[in-house]
Homo-oligomer: A and B are copies of this chain.
Amino acid sequence: MPSKPTMRDVARKSGLSIATVSRVINSPDDVPAPTVEIVNAAMRHLNYRPNINGRRLKMRHTRTVGVLVPTLANPVFATSVQGIEQEAHAEGLTVLLTSSNYDPDREMGAVSALLNNRVDGLILTLANADSNPVVDLLLAEKIPFVLLFNQPYRADIAAISVDNAQSAYDIADVMIKRGHRSLAMVAGRFESSDRSRQRYDGFCRALVDAGIETPHLVQVGFGETDLIEPLRDLLCGPAVVTGLVCSTDMLAIAAINACRAYGLSVPGDVSVGGIDGISVGGLITPKLCSAVQPTQEMGRQALAFLRGLITGQSNPESLLLPHHLSDGESIGPFRRRSSTRI
């Protein structure tokens, strides 16, 4: 049972040295054409496959990037990873994928594993970008990294995102302008998403600016698929609400389902706006009202930017991408039925 052929095998087969074989692989131009052909022939005969791990060990860099997202079950992150992957493919880079499942405690473990792989750089979506041990570690070890979707306070760390607060503000503002006076935010748990908190802040600011006092808030776990219980009070309790702003599209979808379960039509009885803009095919989002920035493109940009950091051609800085509201075709008008009980 012959193990996989190595460079030595190729060298032997071609009657040349392994140094020459290496040259043929890495800089064929430095080798006379006939020699190249001989070596290539040998490689073909042996079905030779360079063992990248050998190279990685020797070289200073690994041409590998690590990616950490909360979950791929959220199309927003999945799509961004698709963008990263595409760009990585174009650059000839390998992608190491991990996910934290929205659990801050798992982030360090995941990043650790990535660092043990000696990735050249990282693209991360963290639960909380500020005062995060992972960020400190990376900064201390001087590993290039860029945050995606996070908006850290510190201006000297690379981040690519839309303006979370502003996008929530804009959505809330649209709803207010259409006559909603009693709004609630359905937000992912703040501990597992700083975006969620930032969006809530923007939401509150919009209400304040409009002279509305009470911003209702419901925090739910991500991946929460059934919001019927969590939304009971909001939809048919004492503090009845006419519109919901959700911190993510997935939550918006879940909220819409809950509304329907309560016999409320959306829109009509209640309006639901989701922040995110799940751009999978541009179609999945219930186009009520979304602050959209095509996520796949954000992924590509993140990798491109990371490449700049790795090669030292650019410096860490935060890029705030413009967001825009999807048409919000059906955000109003509001006409809630008097009493809906379940």
Q: Interface residues, chain A, CB within 8 Å of chain B?
A: 47, 49-54, 56-57, 62, 67, 71-75, 78-79, 81-82, 85-86, 89, 94-99, 101, 110, 112-113, 115-118, 141, 223, 225, 250, 253-254, 257, 280-284, 296
Contact = CB atoms under 8 A, between A and B. Distances in A.
Given A57-B57, A96-B96, A72 B49 contact: no
Contacts of A89: 98-99, 110
B101 A86 contact: yes
Nearest to A280: B73
Contact of A95 (B53, B82, B98): B98
A87 B281 CA distance: 28
A259 B54 CA distance: 55
A148 to B, nearest CB: 14
Given A117-B52, A280-B250, A283-B225, A73 B62 contact: no
Nearest to A255: B283
Nearest to A85: B99
Contact of A56 (B53, B99, B110, B283): B53
User: Dominant SS at the A interface?
Assistant: helix
A117 B51 CA distance: 6
A94 B73 contact: no
Contacts of A281: 73, 223, 225, 250, 253-254
B57 A53 contact: yes
Given A95-B98, A99-B85, A75 B116 contact: no
19 contacts: A47-B141, A51-B57, A52-B116, A53-B117, A54-B57, A72-B72, A72-B82, A73-B75, A73-B296, A75-B75, A78-B82, A81-B97, A85-B98, A85-B99, A86-B99, A250-B281, A250-B283, A254-B283, A284-B284
Identify the 5 closest CB pairs spanning chains A and B, nearest first. Answer: A78-B78, A72-B82, A97-B97, A53-B56, A72-B78
A74 B278 CA distance: 11
A109 to B, nearest CB: 9
A219 to B, nearest CB: 17
Contact of A99 (B82, B99, B118): B82
